[in-house]
Amino acid sequence: MMKTIVKDTLRLVVITLCAAICLSFVHEITAETIETAEAEERAASYRQVFPEASSFEPAENYPLPELPAGVSIGELLYAVNSSGERIGCVISATSANGYGGDITLSVGIDSSCTVTGMTVTAMSETSGLGSHCQDEDFQEQFKGIAGEVEYVKDGRSAPNEIDMISGATFTTRAVTEAVNGALSTAAALFDGGDAQ
């Protein structure tokens, strides 16, 4: 009886070790491919939110304003035109305040601090409700907004308002917070004279 338990335990240990080695090997093979695909996806989102840019270059040592609780800024890139002029920026912003957790988006903002585009790049919101934050109709509402974005329930009436997603207040609030965080960051960036 004891011999059987020891044999079975050893078999399980060997199988587990073999599986771990195989998984590690597969991870090593695919890690670079996955990283490349994620970088290409981010670059595509940047081109989508700032189509007027010819290229993007990293911004370093930029001023970061005080952001709402749960909002963080990831990558920040200058949008550069074909003449080499910085015409705005693209900011990756995340709000941890979504119903399902983090919502990450790319926001294009021109040098006058007007949104050129917005797209949700990652989220875990409820299918059929909060997941509508990825709908083009919802995202297009942000284009052309300057100043703090506000969401309304009964139809927007001001240029800085967007219609909230029905039944998804947390999601709408989180997306709005992230866009406002990106706008505040862009305002600090361009007011600081770092855009030359």
- What was the pLDDT predicted at 196? 41
- Tally of domains within the chain: 1
- What was the pLDDT predicted at 13? 87
Q: Which amino acid is at 14?
A: V
**How far is 135 from 17, CA to CA, in rounded Å?**
44
Q: Which residues contact 141 (CB under 8 A, 6 or more apart)?
A: 156, 162, 163
- Spell out the per-residue pLDDT of the chain, length 196, in tens: 778 888 888 888 889 888 888 888 887 888 788 777 777 888 888 999 999 999 999 988 888 889 989 999 999 999 999 999 999 999 999 999 999 999 999 999 999 999 999 999 999 999 999 999 999 999 999 999 998 999 999 888 899 999 999 999 999 999 999 999 999 999 999 875 444 4
Q: Which amino acid is at 75?
A: E
Query: What range defines the domain where residue 163 resides?
Result: 1-196
**How far is 100 from 166, CA to CA, in rounded Å?**
16
- What was the pLDDT predicted at 58? 92
**How far is 167 from 126, CA to CA, in rounded Å?**
10
